[in-house]
Structure 1
């Protein structure tokens, strides 16, 4: 199955993209090109590429992983203030303006395809409908991320062909109306599967819309929560029952590079590639969650263990979520043993130790051990009391050992944006909020998969055990680091409560206004509305 990959090029005042499947350079494209069949196809493919600005990047990861109950900052200095909610996190923060700009380019690329579809001579009607549905799926996703991050944002549903300084922030209900309309069109017109992996499909649109309704229930003041929850429950049930998706038998297999990128659990993913000419900035998630292993005795940086940025350090809350006697996800999420790749003689535990290649050089057992147990080891034992901003359990689901060298930042893994385990948890949450039974059975499906062999029954819960906090805990166990958490805590109104409880670096500065991000200053500065209205900053910034 071929993947859909796109490369960007500039046309007029917006950025669009060319067909990466053929790797043609269309950097000299002119506006009329989009009135042709190849140009229309390239515009649709091009819209996909802007998802790479958010998923598996420093921008998207910093804005969704930092400042939550799951992760706090490691020693790396970049964007610590996003985690800490200090005054340094303001409208001049680069990742905010970069994401804003890229997403509006993506929106305008999608708008171009949508607006021009009916003008293209010879375009097959069925292909046109499918491609427009893809563009609307992408436009909805862009706006859904924007409205969650920034609140009211400009809502533009037609192609912009000339420069303008007019910009008005649309009300949140209007933005959600547009998102829902786009996704309902996508559901009605997308196929269940696509010949190119990575293209939008009907179940991908249903999954996304179920997440939209789950969110809208609490963030849109005009919404009727019970109606939104019912729609979320119904749409997620469609994904669970009408298609051939299924959970893999092994949680770790979902994240295996290569086979794990295309499997029966993946509903939709953002595409990356090993070709440096067409990979853009690449999948960068592999660097952010790793501890500083490479300066420890017996260790040096290598491709297999990754390039450690020491950016995201798991909180004690996260590390304590797993019942490690029955839940395999701690072992499968966190790297616990390092093997020597720099042989030599070192002082470890107060004694001289000679390490050969392949010997154990570090162990992170995840629990405290008696001093005499540690002293008897011929390798470092890093227990929780020894965790620092440089030494902590490393999340390994994003490791990218296929990078060509130890310094490569542009990883090639796809980012699994929608997967079936989350669909189960979306429906479980919707049923809980509706006061309907069945949440436990859905959660148990996910938990049984996570169990050690023979412990499946021990992992099961009853409906009486299901609370919103339990679902948030289960989402963390299952979806750790997958760019959901900040959004989850905002929509459940749990951000302040949980950050104050579990994130020591953030708890003193987070406030009510932290549930939206600052509007980029360059957007405010370049806006000059003819009616004299101002493009206002979000409160608190």
Structure 2
């Protein structure tokens, strides 16, 4: 996070930790150090620091273990295997890979903690903004919109991963900490929609170069449209289409357009490029070196995770050998122009003289899009913790394909649906195909491979049992993670376990 607003995140987080506990249970995430808290947030600079502390949680990838969203969800899908040194290296990843999670084993603890940490921070800063009498109207409007966008972002992850979760939109009195019951997904989605609608009204259409990393009106509209589509409610499709069209149309107010060269999207030199709608910044500014609290840094540990183990050769730096690409994905992409920008062919590297260790579930194919590149290996802090490779959560080709899907499902404007699908394919030199749901779903897999979309795409479109069933996926169970047992225990059963666990 290089810009003037975000570069001081580490100091801010250290301050936030004085009164925001970051322990294993979200119910422990309650304001601490009342005197300090009451004396802070007295001006716009201090309030902005609080907003940055909410953004900071988006970067976290090591809460309660390794929980980096893109590789973790790729391992849960048919794009990648778990990998690592052996099946005991990261049991949570292997359990998710073969859908053998339990209330004690799986990535759920870290994901629950991360997202409720973000929600707690958002609730706290919203309460401070609301009570402040010193903020200008314009600052208050934008800061409130950002905090609501971020709260919606964290709840969207929670509802997709867990289903029924506690809905908390205020800072909680101590007496209520352990009595928060779960709300149904419909209630969670209603709050997400409300927060995003509120955010849209208060966010700017464009973000200045010095503020990259802050969210925009276009990102909020894209996120709301995605949320509407994911609910599989046909009555919401028309609104989703309108929002997508506002983001996708030529000459849109946000400056979005497809990158000409597909590979350039993922070049770390092209951060916040014209195709990027929602992007999580990473840098080596913190020069972090604390393995006890990796989340305190700003680097992307996912990059280290997926690199080839003990690699010696050109272009790439050594990694840890997780998330080898499945042969299924290799085969569907092998003749596609996007293959080289998506997948590293390890066998070809070996033929050229490179070496690396073949690890658990090795296929000799590896993720390319956010791979560890030698030129970006940090010379500051511990290199493995400081990869300056951003995460693009939403990009324009994604919203093109989601709009095409919504149009086909809604039975409206097939010409526009075909234009959007053809634009994604045409960018890489592929010809036109009919705008059917099957073709759109297939294009999403090819275009967005290893970017963390595939698993939720399979679940929300009802194809998970067919595609992932042979890998262990079970209907009415595997679409959600188990609730962390620690949350059930600390609430004395107020929080209930998901079915099947």
> What TM-score do you get using the length of structure 2 for normalisation?
0.84
- What does 1:259-298 correspond to in 2, within 5 Å? 260-277=270-287, 280=297, 282-292=299-309, 294=311
Alignment deviations for residues 164-223 of structure 1 (CA, whole Å, 9 cap, x no partner): 212210111111110000000111111101231011110000010111001112xxxxxx
1:96/1:64 CA distance change after superposition, 3 Å:
same
* Structure 1 residue aligned with 2:240: 232
RMSD (Å), alpha carbons = 3.0
8 Å contact kept, 1:15–1:106: no
Cα distance between partner residues in 2 of 1:4 and 1:471: 39
Q: How many residues align?
A: 458
* Alpha-carbon distance, 1:388 to partner: 8.1
Cα distance between partner residues in 2 of 1:291 and 1:381: 9
1:161/1:3 CA distance change after superposition, 3 Å:
farther
Cα distance between partner residues in 2 of 1:114 and 1:51: 17
Cα distance between partner residues in 2 of 1:187 and 1:450: 33
Question: Which of 377, 382, 391 is the matching residue for 1:403?
Answer: 377
8 Å contact kept, 2:284–2:378: no
8 Å contact kept, 2:401–2:421: yes
1:193/1:107 CA distance change after superposition, 3 Å:
same
1:84 aligns with 2:98: yes
Question: Which of 212, 223, 229 is the matching residue for 1:214?
Answer: 229
Q: Greater helix percent: which structure?
A: 2
8 Å contact kept, 2:67–2:111: no
Q: Greater strand percent: which structure?
A: 1
1:95/1:388 CA distance change after superposition, 3 Å:
closer
1:119/1:277 CA distance change after superposition, 3 Å:
farther
Cα distance between partner residues in 1 of 2:368 and 2:248: 28
- What does 1:37-436 correspond to in 2, within 5 Å? 37-54=44-61, 58-61=67-70, 63-76=72-85, 77-78=89-90, 79-86=93-100, 89-93=101-105, 95-160=107-172, 162=174, 164-195=177-208, 196-217=211-232, 225-241=233-249, 242-243=252-253, 244-258=255-269, 260-277=270-287, 280=297, 282-292=299-309, 294=311, 300=312, 304-322=315-333, 324=335, 327-336=336-345, 361-362=350-351, 389-400=361-372, 401=374, 402-404=376-378, 408-436=384-412
Cα distance between partner residues in 2 of 1:338 and 1:269: 32
Long gaps (5+) in structure 1 = 17-25, 218-224, 295-299, 340-359, 364-378
Long gaps (5+) in structure 2 = 24-32, 289-295
8 Å contact kept, 2:115–2:157: no
Alignment deviations for residues 492-541 of structure 1 (CA, whole Å, 9 cap, x no partner): 1111111135xxxx24x64431010010111111114xxxx731100111
Cα distance between partner residues in 1 of 2:164 and 2:327: 34
1:4/1:475 CA distance change after superposition, 3 Å:
farther
8 Å contact kept, 1:13–1:162: no
CA radius of gyration, larger in: 1
8 Å contact kept, 1:282–1:409: yes
8 Å contact kept, 1:293–1:301: no
> What TM-score do you get using the length of structure 1 for normalisation?
0.78
8 Å contact kept, 1:214–1:228: yes
